[in-house]
């Protein structure tokens, strides 16, 4: 009888250890799935942030670029009315009159502000895109470069998200340069 009780106790102990390990495995699996879902949600959210930064940035640049055009139109009207008031319909009879007078000027600060808006937009969008790339890389590492990620992913098949839908925005020139592995010199004309 003593041996039978010992065998039953050993089997019960092994079953208990198996149940505990199984419970840890199930909890770990659900934890893995929660983390993977969180990564996918973060990538989608960052992509939306990129869209927001891009949308607001180009609108800001467009609105600031309209200012010089409006300013130029107003300056043209002011200049025309000033000339009409000074010289009348037939113009001035003396050349020295034109040389001595002060005429309205177009302020170059307006164009500098547009350039600054473009620079701010580019930097902000670059940061947002860099964050998206970082989140995708971290998620890929989580799935493929960790033991638990590789193990649990055998049963889950992540990513469930088509990550190519969340690529960064780039230009045709950049794609062509990277495809050809050549970049021509910049022409600053």
Return the pLDDT at 85: 64
Q: Give the separation between CA 171 and CA 169, rounded to whole angstroms.
A: 7
Question: Could you give the dihedral angle defined by the CA atoms of residues 110, 114, 115 and 118, in that order, rounded to the nearest 10 degrees?
Answer: 170
Q: Is-contact 47 132, C-beta < 8 A? A: yes
Return the pLDDT at 139: 96
Q: Is-contact 39 139, C-beta < 8 A? A: yes
Q: Is-contact 37 90, C-beta < 8 A? A: no
Return the pLDDT at 143: 95
Q: Return the domain boundaries, the chain.
A: 36-159
Per-residue pLDDT tens digits of the chain, which is 189 residues long = 578 888 888 888 888 898 988 888 888 899 999 999 999 999 999 999 999 999 888 888 888 777 767 777 777 777 677 666 666 665 555 444 554 555 556 677 777 888 888 899 999 999 999 999 999 999 999 999 988 899 999 999 999 999 999 999 988 888 888 889 888 887 766
Question: Could you give the dihedral angle defined by the CA atoms of residues 16, 17, 20 and 22, in that order, rounded to the nearest 10 degrees?
Answer: -110
Return the pLDDT at 151: 92
Q: Could you tell me the pTM of the whole model?
A: 0.70
Q: Is-contact 78 104, C-beta < 8 A? A: yes
Q: Give the separation between CA 176 and CA 172, rounded to whole angstroms.
A: 6
């Amino acid at each position: 009888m003593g041996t039978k009780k010992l065998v039953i106790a050993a089997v019960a102990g092994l079953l208990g250890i198996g149940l505990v390990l199984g419970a840890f495995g199930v909890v770990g699996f659900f934890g893995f799935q929660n983390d993977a879902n969180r990564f996918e949600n973060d990538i989608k959210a960052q992509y939306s942030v990129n869209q927001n930064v891009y949308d607001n940035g180009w609108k800001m640049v467009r609105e600031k670029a309209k200012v010089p055009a409006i300013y130029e139109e107003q300056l043209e009207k002011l200049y025309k009315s000033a000339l009409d008031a000074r010289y009348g319909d037939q113009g001035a009879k003396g050349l020295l009159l034109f040389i001595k007078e002060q005429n309205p000027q177009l302020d170059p600060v307006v164009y500098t502000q547009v350039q600054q808006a473009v620079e701010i937009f580019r930097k902000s969008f670059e940061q947002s895109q860099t964050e998206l790339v970082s989140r995708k890389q971290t998620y890929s590492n989580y799935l493929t470069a960790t033991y638990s990620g590789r193990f649990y992913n055998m049963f889950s098949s992540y990513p469930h998200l088509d990550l190519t839908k969340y690529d960064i925005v780039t230009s045709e020139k950049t794609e062509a340069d990277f495809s050809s592995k050549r970049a021509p010199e910049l022409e600053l004309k």
